[in-house]
Structure formats: C-alpha cells, structure tokens
Structure 1
Amino acid sequence: MKQRKIPLRMCIGCQEMKPKKELMRVVKNKENEISLDPIGKKPGRGAYICNSLSCFEKAKKGKKLERAFEAAISEEVYNQLRDQLEGLDGS
C-alpha cells in the first residue's frame, strides 16, 4: 500500500519543519484582516506557527508575522492571537 505524503510547513517562531496538522495557520485576507485559522481552509495568505506561546513570542519579537504578510500588525491583533492560542494551548 502506498504511503500518503504528509505536507510539512515551517513554524515562523522556531523555524522547525513540522506536519501541517500540528501547526496553527495565521491568515491575512484581502481586507488585510489577520486571524487564526484552526481548520486551515480560510482564503488568503497564510503563515504557520506552533500551538505554543513560546513560538508566538519569538515570532512577535522578531517581527516574523510582519515579514510574512508584508504589513504592519497592531498590538491589538497580537493580543487577539495570543488569547486564541492560550485557549488552544490549555494554559
């Protein structure tokens, strides 16, 4: 039986390649709204991050989301993303 290929994506926080299903997708749509995409199906430009706050903090400190989306990101958006990740992380 043929084994299915597992898609890999790089976490923008820790720079590790991981299976796509283990990562959280952050998406920027045509209206330049940035949000978490837990299912991975929203339309728009995506960047991937581990489900951990430490990777989120690394990405924020290094302005990696700004680079990925080629746009400035407000502190309010970072706070919303952190709150959503905290809910998923269980902490």
Structure 2
Amino acid sequence: MMKTKKIPMRMCLGCGEMKPKRELIRVVKSKEGDISLDLTGKKSGRGAYICKSVECFEKARKARKFERSFSCMISEDIYNSMEGELRENE
C-alpha cells in the first residue's frame, strides 16, 4: 500500500475556496509589521493566502480580510504595491 503525500490546503481570503497551497500566493506580516507578497513561500511571519488573481486580491482588500487576518491597519500604499507585484506575476 503506497502512502500518498498529503497536499497542504489553504483558504483564499478573496473567494474563500480551499486550494492546494502551491496554487496560492502567500501574503506575509513580518515581526517588524511589514506586509508583503511572499512569492517563494519562505518568508517568516504570519501568513495569509490568496489566489493568483487580482480579482481575489481586490475582494479580500475590499472586505478588509488582510486587516482582520493580521489584526492591524494596512495603508493604501502597501495594498497598491502588492497589487502591482501581483499584476506583474499574473
């Protein structure tokens, strides 16, 4: 009997769907309180996940899901730079 490797699942903050972690983009809040996209998935800090679509990012942004997830206010500048980075990688 072969043991299949368990695929880690995460929920997208935008659409609320559970998807394999590999298909999502991690948003990280570091110990210093910096919030950024973590395209490698290796940065340390509190993570939240969104689909690789700007649409899901917008939904999560509008519903203030990132603020809730990291329990802090997030400035427009940070959102705009994350969105720019996301559009580059789409």
Bin of the TM-score, shorter chain as denominator length:
over 0.9
Residues paired across the two proteins, number? 89
| Sequence identity percentage | 61
**Aligned-partner SS, 1:13:** coil
How far has the Cα of 1:50 moved from its partner? 0.4
Matches for 1:42-81 after TM superposition, within 5 Å: 42-81=43-82
- TM-score, length basis structure 2: 0.97
| Structure 1 residues 56-77: Cα deviation after superposition (integer angstroms, max 9, x where no partner) | 0100100000000000000000
The aligned counterpart of 2:17 is: 16
Q: TM-score, normalised by structure 1?
A: 0.96
**Residue in 1 that maps onto 2:84:** 83
Give the RMSD, CA atoms, in angstroms.
Answer: 0.5
Q: Which residue number corresponds to residue 33 of structure 1?
A: 34
The aligned amino acid for 1:82 is E
Runs of 4+ in 1 over 6 A off after TM superposition: none
